[in-house]
Every structure is written in C-alpha cells, then in structure tokens.
C-alpha cells in the first residue's frame, strides 16, 4: 500500500517543464540538477531580476534612485515602462509582487506571483514585465502556462468572472519603447485550462505514486517529433541526445534566451 504524498507545489515553470518533457521536469525540479549558465545570459538574468526588484520598490512608493547606480539602461528602461503602462497611472488598487495560492487537491497547491495586479470593482488586470524582446510567435506565448495559469488562479480565488480578467505582458528593452501583448480571458479558455491541469496532474500522479516507487525515470519527449526541445535542453548530454562535444553548454544558453527571466519569487 502506497503512502500519501506530501503536498506538492506547482508553478507555471513546473507545468511548462513537465508538459514539454517529463524527464526534463524530473531533472530540473525533482533532482534539482542544473548546468552552469553562459556568463552573457547570467548577466541578462541578473539584470532582469534587478529590474523586477526596482519596479516592485517603485510600485510600493519607495525611492529607487539610490539603487540605480551607474546603469543608465536601467534608468531608461524603468522610465520608459512607467510612461507606457496606463495602469501605472490609475488610482485603482494595485498590488506588486502579489502571490496567490490555489489548493487544487489535498496533494497539490498551485502558486502564482503577479508582477502587478490592478483591482477594480468590475475588472482585474494582471501585468507582467519581461526583459527580453517581444517574441515573434505569439501563438506559442498564448499557450504558455504562465499565460494560462495566472488568470485561471485569479478567477478561482476571487469573485471575478473570466471575462472580467485580462493579462498583459510588457516587453522592456533598453533601446526601444516597451511593447505589449494582451490576453482577454474567457470562460471557454478557463475550462480548457481546467482540463489541461487535470490531465497533467493525473500524469504526474501516475509517475510518482505507484507503490512509493519515486526513483522511476520519467519518460522523455520524442526526439524525432520535438527536435528543437531536445536541441536546446540543458540536460541533453545526461539524456544522451547531445549533438556535439559542447552541446550541453550551447543548448543551455540558447534555452535560457527563450524563457522568461527568473522572477523575484523564483517562479
């Protein structure tokens, strides 16, 4: 007889990783393996984290000038975003780095952290800062788990209907005016997200609760059908799918370039 698993916490990062490749999820989150980052991409990640921190302080009404240092690009990026985002000028309730939890079952807790949540009487706006260029494939972004999970959790933990919720990504670049992409949430989308969550949670339970056999190797994505996923995966050497001597480091760096930066809450 298998023992009940402790409460699991899943974020959009967990869901994206598991849906893309269960074995990658196992390496990344269960075994907590990681390949070293290329210095260039580490610098970009650090810059993005600092940007999020300063925006949080700005939204809390704290002085940020002493923390800008000698980085004119940071000053320019923050000023450009503040000027571009209408919700930063509103008198509605605003909550920066707002964390929400949704108990999906006795074993699963879903966690989201909004860069900014703007709350109005009949509407709610989720805003997220991205410190990389607007992606060319917006259809792919629309199916990303961050885009799906953030409004889903808000609807499930509030009195808002799906049609009263929207989410906007703001893409911040140091040399351009910020660009945005907005999702207006709907009831059909909400039910589709519920179905996808049920399916993924069922798959994950199947892999982790069979008579306590927790050390089973999770299945890998089909390399023939998902060649790019394997090519840019930081674990391709461990999974014996490397294409060359330095494939792991190249794949890791390129993969980091395609993913959202690490947020203040390590989501």
Q: 37 Cβ partners below 8 Å, 6+ apart?
A: 45, 252, 253, 256
In tens digits, the chain (267 residues) has pLDDT values of: 444 556 789 999 999 999 989 999 999 898 888 766 678 778 888 889 999 999 999 998 888 888 777 778 898 999 999 999 998 887 789 999 999 999 998 889 999 999 999 999 999 999 999 998 888 788 889 999 999 999 999 999 999 999 999 999 999 987 788 999 999 999 999 999 999 999 999 999 888 755 444 567 888 887 776 667 787 788 888 887 765 444 444 444 334 334 444 444 444
CA distance 6 to 212: 12
| Collapsed DSSP state (helix, strand, coil) of residue 145 | helix
| Collapsed DSSP state (helix, strand, coil) of residue 171 | strand
- Residue 215: which CATH number? 3.90.320.10
Is 234 a member of any domain?
no
Q: 224 Cβ partners below 8 Å, 6+ apart?
A: none
Is 116 a member of any domain?
yes
Helix axes 72-84, 39-59, angle to 10 degrees: 50
Q: How does pLDDT run across 108-159, given as a tens digit for each residue?
A: 999 999 999 999 999 999 999 999 888 878 888 999 999 999 999 999 999 9
In contact, 10 and 109? CB cutoff 8 Å: yes
H or E element in which residue 255 lies? helix 247-258
* Secondary structure (DSSP) of 35-89: PPPPHHHHHHHHHHHHHHHHHHHHHTT---HHHHTT-HHHHHHHHHHHHH-GGGG
The count of structural domains within the chain is: 1
Is 142 a member of any domain?
yes
Is 266 a member of any domain?
no
Is 258 a member of any domain?
no
Range of the domain at 184: 8-219
């Amino acid at each position: 007889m298998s023992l009940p698993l402790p409460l699991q916490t899943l974020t959009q990062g967990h869901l994206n990783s598991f849906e893309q490749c269960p074995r990658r999820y196992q390496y990344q989150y269960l075994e907590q393996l990681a390949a070293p980052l290329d210095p260039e991409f580490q610098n970009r990640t650090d810059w993005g984290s600092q940007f999020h921190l300063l925006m949080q302080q700005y939204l809390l009404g704290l002085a940020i000038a002493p923390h800008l240092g000698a980085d004119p690009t940071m000053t320019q990026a923050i000023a450009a975003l503040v000027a571009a985002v209408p919700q930063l000028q509103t008198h509605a309730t605003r909550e920066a780095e707002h964390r929400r939890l949704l108990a999906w079952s006795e074993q699963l807790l879903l966690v989201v952290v909004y860069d900014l949540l703007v709350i109005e009487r009949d509407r709610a706006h989720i805003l997220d800062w991205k410190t990389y260029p607007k992606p060319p494939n917006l259809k792919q972004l629309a199916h990303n788990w961050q885009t799906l999970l953030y409004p889903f959790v808000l609807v499930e933990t509030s009195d808002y209907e799906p049609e009263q919720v929207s989410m906007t990504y703001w893409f911040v670049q140091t040399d351009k005016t910020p660009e945005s992409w907005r999702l207006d949430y709907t009831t059909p989308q909400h039910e589709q997200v519920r179905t996808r969550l049920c399916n993924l949670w069922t798959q994950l339970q199947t892999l982790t609760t069979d008579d306590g056999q927790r050390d089973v190797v999770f299945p890998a994505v089909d390399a023939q059908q998902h060649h790019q996923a394997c090519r840019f995966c930081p674990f391709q050497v461990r999974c014996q799918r490397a294409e060359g001597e330095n494939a792991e480091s190249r794949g890791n760096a390129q993969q980091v370039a395609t993913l959202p930066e690490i947020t203040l809450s390590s989501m």
